[in-house]
A and B are shown apart, each in its own frame.
Chain A
Amino acid sequence: MTEQGDRFFVLAVSIAARLHDALDDARSISLQAMNAQASIARAGEQSRAMEPIVDYMNGLSLSIIQLVQDVDDEALLISRESLTEFRESVAVERFVDAVRLGQGAKHMDAIEAKVELLRHNLTVIRQGTGKKISVLIGLLSSIETTLLSANIVTSSFRIEVGKLDSEHKVTFESLIGAFNTATQNIRSVVNRCKADLATTRVLATTKR
């Protein structure tokens, strides 16, 4: 495989695998939020203040799930395109060999023109992959922003939980704990994906 095609293919596959875990975590956040909504209903009047916070938390988890799925789709497209790029670059190599071997042959003009056309196609495919990588980076940043909002929400939630009596406090504190763990996991997955992307991009541009 070519340097770029090879690296982007591996990258896309590894991102897709990592996101599988992130998706589990995002789903668990959503589940925590739903549990919190049920607990609020049980706790009655004294936990009313927490209701909008929990709703917001649920909304955040749903948008994280959506973003993770979008990243996954994008990674799949990138892996497909990397394979196309691989096939096309192998073809270019074979045609370049033919031009070298056929130097001076009577009917080489058409083959030389073919090489140029294939080279052009390859450039277009590479540009397409580059654009998809940018979209991927954008999606990862959106996940980060969403996680940041989740942090703020958790802080307000903690303050509200502090006002509750001890029985309900325990339930909600454990929810906050689970929510925090899930967001931390997603954050570290996103960071690892971003680090992989940065390395791959640098290698792809230097090796091209």
Chain B
Amino acid sequence: MKATKLFEHYDHEWIVFGRDPEKPTGIIDTNQYMIKARGAAMLLDPGGVELFAPMLAAVAQHVPISSIKHLFASHQDPDIISSLGLWDKTLEGATLYAPWIWEGFIKHFGCEAIVYDPLPDEGRTIRFGDTELEFVPAHYLHSSGNFSVYDKSAKILMSGDIGAALLPDGAPFFVEDFDTHTSAMTMFHQRWMPSNKAKAAWIARVRELDVDYMAPQHGAIFKGEDVVRFLDWFDALEVGIAV
């Protein structure tokens, strides 16, 4: 599992994990994120059960397991959180932030020791170290209960499946050429995202935020100007087309 630091300011860090060379074939590649702040750590969309071992090994390079007290799941998909049952055996005193509508579903992955903190539809802001993390509603993008996470100090928006691209193995962690990158995103957004109205609401919310990096759960991370380019591109894209 490869790891790259997205942001570092004193003890506040963002690390992205992905591009695992040992990933079994036939499962979609995913990006997992970790935020470190003041000695505590949070895993965002920690991934599927197949990636648990490489993730745990990779995380252990950076933080003691005992410091991971928070998990976030943007939605209920298996590539997002089917590893929960194993994290449940790993972590002590940890809390999972996830959409309230999926509580009874996500717990099927195994959630005994971890406390499920249900996020209300309108979202919520929590203090994490010296920063604030905002759970931004992203319902129907693509899941009917869905959140992005915005870190105010790091100016990073973890966007879950929004901005996802289906790239070949070993593709770079960052978007290099936005125009060619759109071809890897079009089908994903048109087919997995069901609602133009939901899309417009999310774009309006995100345009209010100051974002240096937009970090999706699949594909490459958008930097600076490419974030705005993505919002414009997504705005113009017709979604929910398979009817």
Contacts and interface: CB of A to CB of B under 8 A. Distances in A.
Interface residues of A, number: 18
Interface string B20-48: 00100000000000000000000000000
A94 B49 CA distance: 9
A152 interface: no
Given A110-B64, A111-B65, A102 B86 contact: no
Contact of B22 (A101, A102, A107): A101
Contacts of A102: 56-58, 60-61
Chain B: interface size category? 20 to 34
B60 to A, nearest CB: 4
B60 A114 contact: no
Nearest to B57: A102
B60 A107 contact: yes
Contact of A118 (B60, B66, B89): B89
Contacts of B61: 102, 105-107
Nearest to A110: B65
B57 to A, nearest CB: 3
Contacts of A110: 64-66
A94 B86 CA distance: 8
Contacts of A34: none
Contacts of B86: 91, 94-95
Nearest to B54: A101
B40 to A, nearest CB: 14
Question: Chain A interface mostly helix, strand, loop or mixed?
Answer: helix
Interface of B is mostly: helix
Nearest to A101: B57
Contact of A94 (B52, B65, B110): B52
Contacts of B22: 101
Contact of A95 (B49, B53, B63, B64): B53
B54 A114 contact: no
A114 B54 CA distance: 16
Interface in A168-205: none
A102 B90 CA distance: 15
A24 B61 CA distance: 61
Contacts of B52: 94, 98
A205 to B, nearest CB: 27
B63 A114 contact: no
A107 B56 contact: no
A98 to B, nearest CB: 4
A45 interface: no
Interface in B90-147: 90, 110
A124 interface: no
Contacts of B56: 94-95, 98, 102, 111
7 contacts: A91-B85, A95-B56, A95-B89, A97-B53, A101-B57, A106-B62, A114-B65
Interface of A: 87, 91, 94-95, 97-102, 105-108, 110-111, 114, 118
Given A94-B53, A95-B86, A110-B64, 10 more contacts: A94-B56, A97-B57, A98-B56, A98-B57, A102-B56, A105-B57, A107-B60, A110-B66, A111-B60, A114-B65
3 closest A-B pairs by beta carbon, nearest first, are A102-B57, A97-B53, A101-B57
